Structure 1
Amino acid sequence: MNFTIRKAAVLGSGVMGAQIAAHLANADVPVTLFDLAWPEGDGNRIVKKAFDGLKKLQPAPAVKHDRLQYIDAANYDSHLEQLRDCDLIIEAIAERMDWKNALYARIAPFLPATAIIASNTSGLSISTLAEGLPEALRGNFCGIHFFNPPRYMPLVEIVPTPNSDAAMLDRLETWLTTRLGKRVIRALDTPNFVANRIGVFSLLTVMRHAAAHDLAPDTVDALTGPKIGRPKSATFRTSDVVGLDTLAHVVATMHGTLSDDPWHACFQLPVWLQRLIEEGALGQKSKRGVFRKQGRAIQVFDPAIGDYRDSRDDVADEVAATLGMRDPAARMQALRNSDHPQARFLWAVFRDLFHYCAVQLGEVADNARDLDLALRWGFGWAQGPFELWQAAGWRETAEAIAADIASGLSMSGAPLPAWVMDAGRGGVHTAEGSWSARRNAHAPRSTLPVYQRQLFPELLLGEAGARPETSGETLFENEGLRLWRLPEIDPGIGIVSIKTRMHTLGSSVLDGMQAALIKAEAELDGLVIWHDAPFAIGADLKEIAAALEAGRTAELAAYVERFQQTTMAIKYAQVPVVAAVQGLALGGGCEFAMHAARRVMALESQLGLVEVGVGLIPAGGGCKELALRCARWAAETGTASELLPRLTPAFLAVATGRVAKNAFEAIDLGYGERSDPIRLHPRELLFAALKQARALADIGHAPAQPVRSVPVLGRAGIAAMEMTLVNMQEGGMISAHDHRVSRAVAEALCGGEVEAGTLVDEHWLLAVERRVFLELLQTPETQARIRHMLDTGKPLRN
């Protein structure tokens, strides 16, 4: 049965409702955003104010401001008739059961019998909410819990009621996955569902043990962030971002609804945190919470002194060394055996988290996979709790937890479930599936057809599944890349996967790419360039620096020419080449993508020609391609005078090293074409790219022909662009070398020192790129920038 959502409605234009509407618009779904009617004048004033808020919010909810044109403003008094045209209605008003039920009663007469109706509640009972709807509509009702911010956080929890139609849930999960790019968990209808139940418990556990070990919030955040595989916001900064009042509401829900939970006494915030809330210090939204900014300094509230002080990183060297150990089992054992308060704190945090997850698994999730993925996707953890436990040694850790429970050291005296100690158990994630305490068996992954589009799904530690580096049939391989194919998917389309660190483009990659293209032209129908993010961060600076320091000028010239030959070989291949772009595609990586016949881009891809950051210009054909595209766009208007207005934004983007924030912006900047598909789910990228290459091949791919005649702006264009640079240098915004580098960009885009209107070919433009690139390489300032980037990872302004 075909299923599509032609139009959606979001009820409630608060922070979450407005952002959900924006993400629907990102996916080209028309949406009507409802709220209460303003009592006088424009009845849609509340929603329109929400629109204004969306434009200012950071990170931006909409990929481009023009996406907001897909959102219509409405109010409950005047526009409920519009619900009759909606296939999906998402309620996202305040977390009050009585308010939600009153709204359901009001909208019920206008709801189509076939529409999906969902509540974005973060923890209220979905079954109880369903009772507010007419019985005939309850089969199409469920929970649909987005995480904040909806555009960026991948997790959506679907929460069914006993009456939810199974086919409807499958259709909704499929649509959320492939259209909105979400990672879906089927949650149980228990308080706070999966991610918030475990994630908030983890926050409370950290706060409780921080007090017991006399650790200040800044030290706690230094210990519970990236050092243990969690986001930079760690614990207290995460609380500030979420909002201390919001966190307090979630904790209150847990305390009020989980009276039988063995950890019930722990469901409360520290007294000092409650006082901050009472004072209006609610976190990021009030510009003060656990942390605040004073001038350039970040200050933290220290409960020990009852006031703010400058934040610092007080992680002990001994504990930092332990957390740096590569073996997770040895690391966990070292934390258990240490007498240092910070190590004892971390062990206690892990112990009580593992203990809670084991005891509550059967209540909060269908299986351990769902629980772990919920924490990965909803809280940004690198590994879920059960993964961490399994990596640390399942039985040894379980025995240590049991010993602490027996000694009264754990937060609860509840015994570990019998399944934890089953003979032979090495963890919960196995080749057969992930353990389900509810089923008393291992649960396999979903068999919904939508997941067949994810050729290499995200795997948990211990799970069996295909991995790209060991899959398929290898056709060619060298040190830099592998050419392979998936015969069961499409034996005629090859896949090029770069193997270097961060997918840098050194000599081995260039040589390998040319060899792969020759083989593809002889034996295949098409080629896809794909690997996990990043797509490529550019040329191999170490290789360039080594040649510079050794004075091997001829080698550098040959390297640049080889790079250009490679990108031209991609562009003019006899078979279609599709670049599957995910994550960063910078410098030479952006140039590789620009020369492909098509790009299939993940929504949040970031493309940019950033060579100015190391005192260079794009010389792999990037400037040449922008010049060609701008000339083509100008020609489409029929006036030569349009060339400078087209080239100027391209010049400014390259001269400032601007990186597109998403795939739509990359197309606007000229790094892609309007015909390039954009996928919201990055795990579907390879599937889509293979299909795109096959489609191009099947319709009779006609290789592009070299451009022999293109008008350039020459000296006049360079002079026009240099006027901007002079003003910037006189204003102290750029240095003399910045000016020189940016002028070189202008020269490459304008075809060099020739008369305006001169007709040149691609090879001329490449020669200009190559010449100014090599000239810049010989300057002490550029060489210093390259060395500084290699040493620090940051650009040097000199």
Structure 2
Amino acid sequence: MKESTFKKVAVLGTGVMGSQIAAHLANAGIPSLAFDISQEVAEKGIQAAARLKPAPFFDPRAVSLITPCNYQEHLPLLQEVDWVIEAVVERLDIKQAIFQKITPHLRPEAIISSNTSGLSLKDMSAVMPETYRRRFLVTHFFNPPRYMHLLEIVPSEHTDPEVVQAVVTFCENVLGKGIVYAKDTPNFIANRIGVYGMMLTLQLASEMGLSVEEVDALTGPVLGRPKSATFRTADVVGLDTLAHVARTAYEKCTHDEEREVFRIPDFLQQMIDKGMTGQKAGAGFYRKEGKQIFALDLKTMEYRPAQKPDFEALKQVKRLPRTADRIRALAAAEDRAGRFVWEMLARTLIYSAHRIPEIADDIVNVDNAMRWGFGWEFGPFQTWDILGLADSLARMKKEGKTVPEWVEKAAASETPAFYTSSTGTRYFFDLKSGSHQPVVYPPRVIHLDLEQEKRPVRARSENASLVDLGDGVLCLAFHHAHQPAMNPIDPDMLQLAAQAVEIIQKEGVKGLLITHQAQNFSVGANLAMVAKLCQEQRWSDIDRLSKQFQDIGQALKYAPFPVVSAPFNMTLGGGYEIAAAANRIVASAELYAGLVEVGVGLIPGGGGTLRLLLNWMQLLAPRKPGPFPPVQKAFETIAYAKVSSSAVEARKLGLLMPEDRHVMNPDHLIYEGKQEVLRMAEGYQPPEPQKEIYLPGEGGRLVIESSLEDMLKAGQISEYDLHIGSQLAYVLTGGDKASPAQPVHEQYLLDLEREVFVSLCQQPKTQERILHMLKTGKPLRN
């Protein structure tokens, strides 16, 4: 069975998970039947999903792909579906009853799966006919399904391997999921280890006298984990839900050596009994009153104003830009913070090691589950390697901790680490063979670090590299030395882009891909550098930087070879300008793009106004609207600092063009981008700069300014917002030269953009906005 045979899916249950799974199927263009106990419940469930935040849909209109159904009238419609996903309440009797109800109506080749988070596959399938037992498995999506990459696949001994492969292929390539293979054990992989880690953290906080705020400061981004850390995550998930998952492990994992950690602590039970179940109840470990945040004192069980933690070790490690360095430094610190982090990490790592082969066959599945399901930058065994396997093992043994024998074998191996790589192949320590074995990646997954082992890097600077992907494709990859998660655009990145153009032209390489594998594509130009130049009044240097950015964009756009960009996640300001300079964009479905410079008192300064204006001119050309409507569309996107919530919305904003496309699986982005370069390279004819661009000129500018003045009178914008908007309108309408009868060329518009960009940098209010953004991360309305 191939992925293309999954034409329609049925989802049983329209609660929080079922409705969002149906929504994500719709995101992928797959129609579904969404069943519930009545038509009203089914319809309300889908309607509720459309209102959820963060939005489950790329585009709200995709809800039309979901057909609400009920079990009384619509069971015969199941004949139409290829796959049934059960997502009803977590009760075995109800699930079994549902399976008995639906199986008579299914086609023989249909696949059934359960989204259970903890019930036994064996128990659920006991009531099924033998035919469907071979076509039954667990597909455990994580909440929210659109945003959480993980999908745990749990087959039984009866499940046909071809069925498993069909589901895996479809979920990887169509739904964009990261697949891990789990065993039929309570809570599978991610929840077993993740909830252990959370319950252990609660226990250690109580034992070591750490506050809620202190724990969250030590277990969040500093360790490469989500901002919500531990206690905020518990509030978001729901304390009752956390307790339910922990209780499942406690009751069912009777031979677990750490079983007592899953016992619900008294303070947590008290909170649940009082209805303090977290965010949904308005009170949990945190409570918000107006704008003030209160935290629960675990000793007194009373709320008090949240306080900023004061750990010297934390202050020191926050200066380190890379997560791995922070983990090492914090675990080695000798203060309370260091002791807590070491104890939490050490016990979690040992617990993870004890779970193999119980919950998974290897460390790769465990690490991927924690990265994709709990948002950890590094899985347990990757973290152990960061700490140093031999050194950390020695410390654990010195402290009397019991480590599995196989971990000691890994430490004593020729390469004393869980992971190693050589000549482009990554190896992991395999428990079964007692040796390092190759990690097998899906065919569409490319890792840049491994590509650099296969072939020499063609050029490198502090913040970027030109990587050879083979087959005549080079990749310009960003890796900012000081802000690796954000990748602000620095001059050396632009210089390497220029160097890439020279190398490709000289050597006859087929084309260039611009992408990488950090957390975000780029959040924009290096604002700290711009602020420094402003403070020193180095206006000519700012002009030169803007000109360099613009020139590189033009060189990429009109190069004699195809340039493809593959942006993902935050692609803002200068980050979008680099991406839009390509001839084609292959974007991640999760694309948060926009030209947001007005938030710091500027307009785009690297060609962004020209790119967006030309996009809208091309998009609206079939309607022959005249010169003003494209200007108006571009103005609205830039002036209101609109940011797409997905690649689908980016199209609506004119940030992506019809020939651009998006990729559901972020792990496939480099592969798909490379394939696009190769396709375009066949008989490639580069575009030419436009020499006759018709713009509305002064008349169009006055229309926009009149609208801005109305907004000022209504109190919607400030005087300085009006000034920035007027300057942006001046550029987009063509300055003093353009009119409906007098065209201008691209370079004129770039010069105009740069002139306004530099003049705004000289304004005190722009400088105030820049400094405020750098200090607080929020825009200033002055």
TM-score, normalisation: structure 1: 0.89
Could you tell me how far 1:542 is from its partner in structure 2? 5.0
Supply the AA of the counterpart residue of 1:61: P
**1:472 has 2:476 as partner:** no
SS at match of 1:678: strand
| Letter in structure 2 aligned against 1:252 | R
Alpha-carbon separation, structure 2, partners of 1:511 and 1:351: 44
Say which is worse superposed, 759-768 or 564-573, in terms of deviation.
Answer: 759-768
- Are 1:525 and 2:520 matched, yes or no? no
State the distance in 2 between where 1:330 and 1:509 align: 29
Q: Following the alignment from structure 1 to structure 2, what is the Cα–Cα distance between the partners of residues 272 and 494? A: 56
Residues 1:499 and 1:205: Cα distance change in structure 2 (over 3 Å): closer
Aligned to 1:429: 419
Q: 1:270 to 1:178 in 2, by over 3 A?
A: same
Distance 1:211 1:705 in 2: 67
**Distance in structure 2 (CA, Å) of the matches to 1:172 and 1:123:** 20
**Is 2:694 the partner of 1:711?**
yes
Report the counterpart of residue 690 of structure 1 in structure 2: 674
Q: Are the structure 2 counterparts of residues 372 and 757 from structure 1 closer, same or farther at C-alpha, using a change threshold of 3 Å?
A: same
Deviates further, 230-239 or 476-485:
476-485
Would the aligned equivalents of 2:223 and 2:327 in 1 still touch at CA under 8 Å?
no
| Secondary structure, counterpart of 2:655 in structure 1 | coil
For 1:452, the equivalent position in structure 2 comes to 443
User: 8 Å contact 1:222–1:315 — kept in the other structure?
Assistant: no
| Unaligned runs of at least 5 residues, structure 1 | 38-43, 458-465
Q: Which residue of 1 aligns with 2:237?
A: 242
Partner residue of 1:668? 652
CA contact (8 A) 1:258 1:264 kept: yes
Find the aligned partners of 2:510 and 2:98 in 1 and give their Cα distance.
56
Secondary structure at the counterpart of residue 443 of structure 2: helix
Task: Identify the match of residue 564 of structure 1 among 526, 543, 550.
Answer: 550
Q: Matched residue pairs, number?
A: 763
CA distances 1:444-488 after superposition (whole Å, capped 9, x unpaired)? 4236xxx1211117xxxxxxxx4355553444556665444333x
**1:51/1:480 Cα in 2 relative to 1: closer, same or farther (>3 Å)?**
same
SS in 2 for 1:716: helix
Distance in 2 (CA, whole Å) between partners of 1:351 and 1:480 is 33
Q: Find the partner of 1:379 among 374, 394, 403.
A: 374
Match of 2:603 in 1: 617
CA shift, 1:508, in A, is 3.7
Instruction: Supply the distance in 1 between the matched residues of 2:493 and 2:137 (Cα, whole angstroms).
Output: 50
What secondary structure is seen at the aligned counterpart in 2 of 1:585?
strand
Counterparts of residues 172-183 of structure 1 (less than 5 Å): 172-183=167-178
Per-residue CA deviations over 1:262-320 (Å, capped at 9, x if unaligned) read: 33333222222222222322212222222221111112222322322222233433565
1:368/1:429 contact within 8 Å kept: no
Over residues 52-84 of structure 1, what are the superposed CA-to-partner deviations in whole Å (9 max), with x where a residue is unaligned? Answer: 212221111111212222211111111112221
Q: Pick from 293, 297, 300 the counterpart of residue 302 of structure 1.
A: 297
Distance 1:551 1:263 in 2: 62
Question: What RMSD over aligned residues (CA atoms) do the two structures have, in Å?
Answer: 2.7
Q: Structure 2: which amino acid aligns with 1:530?
A: T
**1:506 to 1:219, Cα distance in 2 relative to 1, 3 A:** closer
Give the aligned partner of residue 706 of structure 2.
Answer: 723
CA contact (8 A) 1:193 1:364 kept: yes
The amino acid of 1:656's aligned partner reads: Y
Alignment match, 1:209:
204
Aligned to 1:94: 89
Question: What's 1:584 paired with?
Answer: 570
Give the 3-state SS of the residue equivalent to 1:766 in structure 2. helix
Pair 1:653-2:667 in alignment: no
Structure 1 equivalent of residue 250 of structure 2? 255
Q: Are the structure 2 counterparts of residues 592 and 227 from structure 1 closer, same or farther at C-alpha, using a change threshold of 3 Å?
A: closer
Indicate conservation of the 8 Å contact 2:452/2:467, yes or no.
no
Match of 2:3 in 1: 3
Letter paired with 1:527 = L
- Answer with 613-622 or 203-212: which moved more: 613-622
TM-fit CA distance, 1:191: 0.6
Q: Which amino acid aligns with 1:418?
A: E
Aligned equivalent of 2:19: 18
Of the three residues 574, 581, 596, the one matched with 2:560 is 574
SS of residue in 2 equivalent to 1:710: coil
Equivalent pair of 1:473/1:486 in contact (CA under 8 Å): no
- The secondary structure found in structure 2 opposite 1:363 is coil
* Residue number in structure 1 paired with 2:188: 193
Structure 2 match to 1:41: none
Consecutive unaligned residues of structure 2, counting only runs of 5 or more, are none
Q: Distance in 2 between matches of 1:370 and 1:88?
A: 25
Q: Distance in 1 between matches of 2:734 and 2:595?
A: 18
How much does 1:16 deviate? 0.6
Bigger drift between 28-37 and 356-365 goes to: 356-365
Q: Distance in 2 between matches of 1:53 and 1:674?
A: 31
The whole-number CA distance in structure 1 between the counterparts of 2:200 and 2:708 is 55
Deviation at residue 10 of structure 1 after TM alignment: 0.9
Which SS does the other structure have where 1:467 is aligned?
helix
* Structure 2 residue corresponding to 1:417, chosen from 374, 395, 404: 404
3-state SS in 2 of match to 1:452: coil
1:573 partner amino acid: A
Q: What is the aligned-residue identity percentage?
A: 37
Q: Cα–Cα, structure 1 residues 638 and 194, in superposed 2: closer, same or farther, change >3 Å?
A: same
- Corresponding letter in the other structure for 2:554: M
Indicate conservation of the 8 Å contact 1:330/1:392, yes or no: no
Secondary structure of the corresponding residue to residue 721 of structure 1: helix
> 1:277 and 1:482 mapped to 2: Cα distance?
52
